[in-house]
Structure 1
């Protein structure tokens, strides 16, 4: 299914490609070349990736564009959600380090905008009104309580 998705996306015209992925086909190809170059420059390649470079890039673009959960993307791409997370992080890092694209740093991509509000609470200690010992005992001895 994921192979068909990449093939279908590549067949779209320029405007529809941009609408679907958020970037133009030329930029997609350039990003693929950067990722491919990074992959070839590894000294120890390690375990082969679950998805090839084009699919990894498309997966990352879908995450950026649609902001779906890793679990949903993993289900659609037939891979585990942690694999999706590692793939997105690896692609982001490679594209940022290349310097060829105007992407914010990782902290900007992952950092949420926090808005702080100040809330004043009067937390002064006051004695809690409790029944006296004799009132507690007398309440327990009443027979008129059903």
Structure 2
């Protein structure tokens, strides 16, 4: 999964604080455990807006990579 997502990550700008692997784990723990962003941020050492951005980016990367299909509302 990490190798597939590396293809969709932009390499411009400031390097991310978390590795791609940690970003995926942050996102999956958010979805799986239904933890609040506050509790996730204490585990990963990032701010809430950053964690929210990471969740959005990982979701977009997963959709582009076609590794996971999300259910679309009708």
The TM-score bracket by the shorter chain reads 0.7 to 0.9
Is residue 43 of structure 2 the alignment partner of residue 76 of structure 1? yes
What count of residue pairs does the alignment treat as equivalent? 73
Is residue 24 of structure 2 the alignment partner of residue 57 of structure 1? yes
Question: 1:89 maps to what in 2?
Answer: 56
Runs of 4+ in 1 over 6 A off after TM superposition: none
Cα offset for 1:104?
2.8
Q: Which runs of 5+ in 1 are unaligned?
A: 1-30, 109-146
Distance in 1 separating the partners of 2:71 and 2:16: 25
Larger-gyration structure (1/2): 1
Distance in 2 separating the partners of 1:80 and 1:74: 6
1:3-82 aligned within 5 A:
31-39=1-9, 42=10, 45-82=12-49
TM-score (norm 2): 0.85
Deviation by residue 1:85-111 (Cα, 9 ceiling, x = unmatched): 000100000101222322235xx5xxx
Q: Which runs of 5+ in 2 are unaligned?
A: none
Is 1:96–1:104's contact at 8 Å kept on the other side of the alignment?
no
Q: Residue 102 of structure 1: SS of its match in structure 2?
A: coil
Q: What RMSD, in angstroms, separates the aligned Cα atoms of the two structures?
A: 1.6
